Amino acid sequence: MASTAEDFETPNSLRDICGLDLVEKNDLDDEMATFVHGIEKKYGFVPNFLRMWASDNRRLRAFLVPWLELMRTDSGLSPLDHELIALVCANENGCAYCCAHHGATLRGVSGDPVFAELIGRNYKLAELSSRDRAMLDFVVMVQKEPEAIGDTERDCLRAKGFDDEAIWYIASTAAFYASANRMSAAVGLKITPEYLTMHR
Amino acid sequence: MASTAEDFETPNSLRDICGLDLVEKNDLDDEMATFVHGIEKKYGFVPNFLRMWASDNRRLRAFLVPWLELMRTDSGLSPLDHELIALVCANENGCAYCCAHHGATLRGVSGDPVFAELIGRNYKLAELSSRDRAMLDFVVMVQKEPEAIGDTERDCLRAKGFDDEAIWYIASTAAFYASANRMSAAVGLKITPEYLTMHR
Amino acid sequence: MASTAEDFETPNSLRDICGLDLVEKNDLDDEMATFVHGIEKKYGFVPNFLRMWASDNRRLRAFLVPWLELMRTDSGLSPLDHELIALVCANENGCAYCCAHHGATLRGVSGDPVFAELIGRNYKLAELSSRDRAMLDFVVMVQKEPEAIGDTERDCLRAKGFDDEAIWYIASTAAFYASANRMSAAVGLKITPEYLTMHR
Amino acid sequence: MASTAEDFETPNSLRDICGLDLVEKNDLDDEMATFVHGIEKKYGFVPNFLRMWASDNRRLRAFLVPWLELMRTDSGLSPLDHELIALVCANENGCAYCCAHHGATLRGVSGDPVFAELIGRNYKLAELSSRDRAMLDFVVMVQKEPEAIGDTERDCLRAKGFDDEAIWYIASTAAFYASANRMSAAVGLKITPEYLTMHR
Amino acid sequence: MASTAEDFETPNSLRDICGLDLVEKNDLDDEMATFVHGIEKKYGFVPNFLRMWASDNRRLRAFLVPWLELMRTDSGLSPLDHELIALVCANENGCAYCCAHHGATLRGVSGDPVFAELIGRNYKLAELSSRDRAMLDFVVMVQKEPEAIGDTERDCLRAKGFDDEAIWYIASTAAFYASANRMSAAVGLKITPEYLTMHR
Amino acid sequence: MASTAEDFETPNSLRDICGLDLVEKNDLDDEMATFVHGIEKKYGFVPNFLRMWASDNRRLRAFLVPWLELMRTDSGLSPLDHELIALVCANENGCAYCCAHHGATLRGVSGDPVFAELIGRNYKLAELSSRDRAMLDFVVMVQKEPEAIGDTERDCLRAKGFDDEAIWYIASTAAFYASANRMSAAVGLKITPEYLTMHR
């Protein structure tokens, strides 16, 4: 079931959705192609970031393997936790693409568009448990002043009930989006319009 | 050839080398164990970051797969390019661990400790080709103001001879270290002392 | 036609929509009451900022008089210009309320939700004429480094065809929102939910 | 008693006192003209900011209406409070014109030139009651990080005896000068020399 | 002619003029005592900074020797240049004491209080030759981003006619005040009131 | 024993070790020449900073007199304290030359290269007594936000056992390096390679 160009090609070329003229290798293996088809089925469209990374099988795998590691069920973080972190990172890093994407997914997971709007603009204004607030405060430190993190900051998370494995995954998720947000910006990825109306 | 604890266990436990008390699962598969042994053989020691990530097979894989993608031979970047980017990122992000690590590896690749010192403190002071300087200026933007990157910045790289695939890998390498630098800081990874005398 | 509490009272009290427990004086004069009714009729609801300022007749007048001055037809700026400036200011100043409000109004004026999303996140990514880009670059300077503005910056606007009266109104609009964005944040004004679905 | 050009025209034209070549409409209505004459009588000169805004009746009104609202006697703030806030804002926003203006007025209200100098440079060094210090700390947040203001910050003011109406006026005064300081800078308003020797 | 406490003791003790309770050793040698008397004669008072440093002979000498080196007649800089640099540094570093001191001395050297006010608030607004502007731009870089200085910046000074010895003294003067401004702040030196009315 | 050019001339000229083409006056008096020879004897080489300052006798004296004042035995600070402060300043101010120099000297004084590496990158990660940490926190404030220092900060030092004379010398040392770090950067001083291997 190796992918072919037609499978999820949309009328526009890669150059129309990002600032780089990348070669589309059409070399996805079954696992990667299945993943892309799964997203397309779930969302009803192939998001631009996925089209871009799917231009090369190794490239997509290098994106998905660490992302799937964050999705493991024993991470100590819920899907809502993941989306909270992802959207706060997108906003802190000024990534318009990721704000649109994770704004949509957080609306979906939380079922609360006003809450998602606040998380995507200024999480300090949102109603959050003290656990979630501590988690997001740590995430902001990872983005903005990682060099200032020490035992004090990790102990704050422990005091809210996170064990050390969960702290690892909070840090990993924040670090993953520090990378993904920058990558979207650096390559000039254009917003997928469908995000803006999803789960409104 | 699955790994066991004794294989690369050193006297200290994980808690001695980082700020988290992670479970060591001793579950490395052959591919991951071979990688760790290879590094140990090459360096003469297992660096702390590797001991930490090797605590869980999926965790290590999630680190290595994207790193190996950056190492691909058709990326348009040389090993020296990679180390230049890695060390500039470490310094920009204030990561003491990564400065020590990539300071050592850049001394190895470049054979020039004074040059490596300048790159690790202030690359503007180093003698660099205009190609390399443009590459590192872009890398700093990826770290510090990704939201300001546009066609102008990508065109600067093109003007220095980088094709769009190479620009992808410059961006990817910078984004990878934006993540790795933050992860080291967030989990309180301690410096591997051997780095400091390597390639002096 | 002086206003009474019932006129535009909604079930929640002022304390529910902002962080201050302000007295509602119910003292709007005819001109102010007419304005509030007009907005309610146009939007289908009374936005929270208006309910808050309408708590006192002098307060509302102090907000409306300078805003109406910006609306004058001989300012040299179009309604689209006004909304571009307003949304860029809201984003620069991190005002969640104003981003929601002017995100909605810019979607209305421009008819382009993707464009409005980019303006509200990172106008550098939007397709803009060089005139509009110069206008917004100036607006960002007014917000972030007003002390650096000099003849050079004003001449950039003149070179794009703005006369000195129009430059006054660009500056005035930017300065007005420097104030309004801070006021919303300082008093803890809560987002009006209706904004989020307007003109999607 | 409509104003005419000769009434408060000084030898220099508007272009001599600011960076814009604005039309002087000489259209002040009685209320506005009376205000300008009142200031001239009180100060012995017409300050440059007033000459600039008085170039158009609507413009001047849009400045004075919100300023007069801040001057209301039931705001909970004294004239000294107002000038403290105004000078701290001018300094925080780097507005040379407003530092000169409110340096002079604070010297007048406080009768203490050394105190006024400290407020205009670094209020942390001045002898202030804990009430006044809390007020100015809040004002600095309004200028520099309004997005970080929450209930905690408003409660700090309440703990010092400010009621919610007074907090509104602290916020409003700070927001007014966030606008006025930027406007002076953006239009290149030149210092009125008389300020420098007033109340020395 | 060794100094004694009475020579320039004023009613208040050192603790009244700064935040440290330093021992007054009354051990000035003839050279240092002559210097202090000279300043007292010239100004009509002993400035607080001098009283503080004169508490110990070695301390005063450690301040004066580098300052006198900057005063050498073959430095390529005039007294006006020196005061321009000193006041810009004081403002950039937020030192209230030094702003008052060098505000006074620049009024004296330049004979122009409005000019001195602008230099002490925002030199970009002052009328300056392109030579002086280049000198002050360099000085600001020395204060705020010394790590970004390279041949390009030094060549800008050369292009304005400064030889390399003069560049040394521009840098030295800026560096001297980077130190002096911080010292005044760190020890809590109080403003000498006489500065505020000098040369008005 | 006046110095001559041959005494410590190395093959390269001043232009090879810094960004300025300074005149070498060869005018060192006995005291200065003895100092230079002493350093050469102690280190085995003349560091670049010393060669540069020794180009003129007054220049060198202006550097040494304040430095020797910091070295006085009754300052309340040990040589280790001095080097801790010096290296933290060098890192905070981004001075590559001073990081290399004081990295070497701190390795010498402390005998611990890993400790010195952490101090030179991020002292928050080093194991420090609470006294030393308080001292370095104060030093960072002197570098980065001197205007925020008040009695609270000085009292923190007193609470750790520093008397007011010692606080003077902590401040003086930090201020001295605020100057020295900027001077090295401003004149483009090149790293002395020998530092990098000293005390490894």
What pLDDT, in 10s, does the model give residues A64-93?
999 999 999 999 999 999 999 999 999 999
Closest Cβ–Cβ partner in B95, B164, B181 for A20 = B164
F192 contacts in B (CB within 8 Å)? Answer: none
Per-residue pLDDT, E85: 98
Q: Which two three-digit tokens encode residue D198?
A: 């007033």
Cα atoms in the 13 Å half-sphere on the side-chain side of E31: 8
In this model, does residue A1 exceed pLDDT 50?
no
| Chains in contact with A via at least 3 Cβ–Cβ pairs below 8 Å | B, C, D, F
Touching check for D124 and chain F: CB below 8 Å?
yes
Q: Distance between alpha carbon E13 and the CA centroid of its chain, in Å?
A: 23
Instruction: List pLDDT tens digits, range B112-138.
Output: 999 999 999 999 999 999 999 999 999
Provide mean pLDDT across the span A115-119: 98
Residue closest to A131 by CA, chosen among A73, A55, A172, A77? A77
Is F touching A (3+ C-beta pairs, cut-off 8 A)? Answer: yes
pLDDT in tens, F123-177: 999 999 999 999 999 999 999 999 999 999 999 999 999 999 999 999 999 999 9
C-alpha C136, offset from chain centre? 15
pLDDT tens, residue by residue, F62-94: 999 999 999 999 999 999 999 999 999 999 999
The pLDDT assigned to E86 comes to 98
Please give the DSSP secondary-structure letter assigned to residue B191.
P
Distance CA C15, CA A59 (A): 52
Taken as a whole, chain F contains a residue count of 200
Contacts of E124 in chain C (CB under 8 A): 147-148, 150
| Mean pLDDT value across residues B152-162 | 98
Check if the beta carbon of residue A88 is closer than 8 Å to that of residue A139. yes
Q: Rounded CA gap, F53 and E166, in Å? A: 15
Put simply, the answer to whether D186 touches C142 (Cβ < 8 Å) is: yes
Q: What residue spans of chain D are helical by DSSP H?
A: 5-8, 14-17, 30-43, 48-53, 57-70, 79-92, 96-110, 113-121, 130-144, 151-159, 164-187
Subunits next to C (3 or more Cβ pairs <8 Å) are: A, B, D, E
C145: nearest CA partner in chain E: E122
- A161-165 CB contacts, 8 Å cutoff, 24+ apart: A161/A131, A162/A76, A162/A131, A162/A135, A163/A76, A164/B20, A164/B21, A164/B22, A165/A74, A165/A75, A165/A76, A165/B22, A165/B23
User: A86 to chain C, minimum CA–CA distance in Å?
Assistant: 16
pLDDT of residue D12: 58
Q: Would you say D31 and D52 are in contact if contact means Cβ atoms under 8 Å apart?
A: no
Gap between the Cα atoms of F8 and C172, Å rounded: 64
The minimum CA-CA distance between C52 and chain D, rounded to whole Å, is 11
CB distance C150–E124 less than 8 Å?
yes
Rounded CA-CA distance A180/A67 in Å is: 10
DSSP string, B50-87: HHHHTTSHHHHHHHHHHHHHHT-TTSS--HHHHHHHHH
Q: What is the per-residue burial (b if ≥16 Cβ within 10 Å, else e) of F121-136?
A: bbbbbbebeeebebbb
Q: Within the 128-147 window of chain F, which residues sit less than 8 Å (CB to CB) from chain D?
A: 147
Six token digits for residue B74? 């058709």
Partners of F122 on chain A (C-beta within 8 Å) are: 147
For residue E125, the chain C residues in CB contact (below 8 A) are 150
Cross-chain CB nearest to A165 (options B22, B165, B180): B22
Q: Which residues of D touch F150 (CB under 8 A)?
A: 124-125
Closest residue in C to A193 (Cα) is: C114
F25: closest CA of chain D, how far (Å): 43
Convert the pLDDT of each residue in E51-103 to its tens digit: 999 999 999 999 999 999 999 999 999 999 999 999 999 999 999 999 999 99
Q: Are A141 and B152 within 8 A, CB to CB? A: no
Give residue C128's pLDDT.
Answer: 98
Mean pLDDT of the A96-109 span: 98
- Asked if B154 reaches chain A (Cβ–Cβ under 8 Å), the answer is yes
Q: How far apart are CA B100 and CA C49, in angstroms?
A: 53
Chain C residues whose beta carbon lies within 8 Å of the beta carbon of residue E123? none
Chain E CB contacts of F23 under 8 Å are 165
Q: How far is CA B118 from CA B176, C2, F17, F182, in A?
A: 22, 73, 14, 16
Question: Chain A contacts of D150, Cβ < 8 Å?
Answer: 124-125
**Overall average pLDDT of the A175-184 stretch:** 98
Contact E22, F164 (CB under 8 A): yes
The reply to whether A125 touches chain D by the CB within 8 Å rule is: yes
**Residue recorded with tokens 């008040």:** F150
Asked if residues C136 and C158 have their Cβ atoms less than 8 Å apart, the reply is: no
Q: With H, G, I as helix, E, B as strand and everything else as coil, classify residue B128.
A: coil
C-beta atoms of F94 and E58 within 8 A: no
The answer to whether E and A touch (≥3 CB pairs < 8 Å) is no
Chain D residue at shortest CA distance from E193: D114
Is the Cβ of A124 closer than 8 Å to some Cβ of chain D? yes
Asked whether F94 and F185 are in contact (CB, 8 A), the reply is yes
Which chains pack against F, by 3+ Cβ pairs within 8 A?
A: A, B, D, E
How many Cα atoms occupy the beta-carbon half-sphere of B168 within 13 Å? Answer: 22
Q: What angle in degrees, to the nearest 10, is found between the helix axes of D57-70 and D164-187?
A: 150
**For an interface test with C, which of A16, A48, A117 has the most C Cβ atoms less than 10 Å from its Cβ?**
A117
Q: Which helix (H) or strand (E) holds E14?
A: helix E14-17
pLDDT confidence of residue E7? 52
C-alpha of F91 from chain center: 12
Q: Which of D16, D20, D72, D75 to mutate to test the interface with C (most CBs of C within 10 A)?
A: D20
How far apart CA B107 and CA B119 sit, in angstroms, is 10
Q: What is the rounded CA–CA span in Å between residue A14 and residue B165?
A: 13
Interface residue B2 vs chain A (CB under 8 A) = no
Distance from CA of D169 to the nearest CA of C (A): 10
F95-107 pLDDT per residue, tens = 999 999 999 999 9
ipTM: 0.94
F119-F121-F122-F127 Cα dihedral, nearest 10 degrees: -30
Is E151 touching B (CB cutoff 8 A)? Answer: no
Q: Do A178 and B182 touch (CB under 8 A)?
A: yes
Cβ F151–E19 below 8 Å, yes or no? Answer: yes
- Position D172 confidence tier, pLDDT thresholds 50, 70, 90: very high
Q: Does A116 touch chain C (CB under 8 A)?
A: no
Q: Which among B73, B102, B83 has a CA at the least distance from the CA of B166? A: B73
Residues C124-152: what's their mean pLDDT?
98
Task: Say if D and F touch: at least 3 Cβ pairs within 8 Å.
Answer: yes
Which of F92, F122, F144 is best to mutate for the A interface (most A CBs within 10 A)?
F122
CA dihedral A88, A92, A93, A98 (to 10 degrees): 30
Between CA B78 and CA E172 the distance in angstroms is 42
User: Average pLDDT, stretch C102-113?
Assistant: 98
Distance CA B146, CA A97 (A): 12
Contacts of A148 in chain F (CB under 8 A): 124
Q: Is D108 on the interface with E (CB under 8 A)?
A: no
What is the distance between the alpha carbons of residues C171 and C66, in angstroms, rounded to a whole number?
13
Mean pLDDT (whole number) for A100-107: 98
Contacts of C191 in chain A (CB under 8 A): 114, 117-118
* Residue D53 CB burial class (10 angstroms; 0-12, 13-18, ≥19): buried
Q: Which of A72, A94, A146 sits opposite B181 (nearest CB)?
A: A146
Residue D200 CA to residue A200 CA, distance in Å, equals 61
pLDDT (tens digit per residue) in A9-68 = 454 589 999 999 999 999 999 999 999 999 999 999 999 999 999 999 999 999 999 999
Q: SS3 for F163? A: coil
DSSP annotation string for chain A? ----HHHH--SS-HHHHSSS---------HHHHHHHHHHHHHHSS--HHHHHHTTSHHHHHHHHHHHHHHT-TTSS--HHHHHHHHHHHHHHTT-HHHHHHHHHHHHHHHS-HHHHHHHHH-GGGS---HHHHHHHHHHHHHHH-GGG--HHHHHHHHHTT--HHHHHHHHHHHHHHHHHHHHHHHHTPPP-GGGGGTT-
D71 touches C at CB < 8 Å = no
Residue D20 C-alpha, separation from nearest chain C C-alpha, in angstroms: 6
Give the pTM.
0.95
Q: Does B122 touch chain E (CB under 8 A)?
A: yes
Judge whether A80 is closer than 8 Å to chain C, CB to CB. Answer: no
For residue B11, pLDDT beyond 70 = no
If 0-12 CB within 10 Å is exposed, 13-18 middle and 19+ buried, where does residue B4 land?
Answer: exposed
Return the pLDDT at D13: 83
Summarised one tens digit per residue, pLDDT across range F21-57 is 999 999 999 999 999 999 999 999 999 999 999 999 9
**pLDDT of amino acid B12:** 58
Give CA separation, A89 vs A85, A174, A183, C98, in Å.
6, 7, 13, 21
Question: How far apart (Å, rounded) are the C-alpha atoms in residues C160 and C162?
Answer: 6
E176-to-E69, E200, F84 alpha-carbon distances in Å: 11, 27, 22
Give, as one character, the DSSP assignment of residue D55: T
Taking the Cβ of residue F166 and every Cβ of chain E, the question of whether any pair is shorter than 8 Å is answered with no
pLDDT (tens digit per residue) in E25-56 = 999 999 999 999 999 999 999 999 999 999 99
Residues A191, A194: Cα–Cα separation, whole Å:
9
Spatial distance between the Cα atoms of B67 and B177, rounded to a whole number of angstroms: 10
- CA-nearest of B92, B163, B157, B149 to B130 is B157
pLDDT category of residue F11 using cuts at 50, 70 and 90: very low
F78: left (phi over 0), alpha (psi -120 to 50) or beta: beta
Residue F118 is nearest to which of B125, B191, B200, comparing CB atoms? B191
Interchain proximity D125–E94, CB inside 8 Å: no
* pLDDT given for residue D7 in this prediction: 52
DSSP letter assigned to residue F1? -
Q: What is the pLDDT of residues A137-175, one digit of tens each?
A: 999 999 999 999 999 999 999 999 999 999 999 999 999
Residue of E122, E137, E144 best to disrupt the C interface, most CBs of C under 10 A: E122
Task: Say if residue F4's pLDDT is above 80.
Answer: no
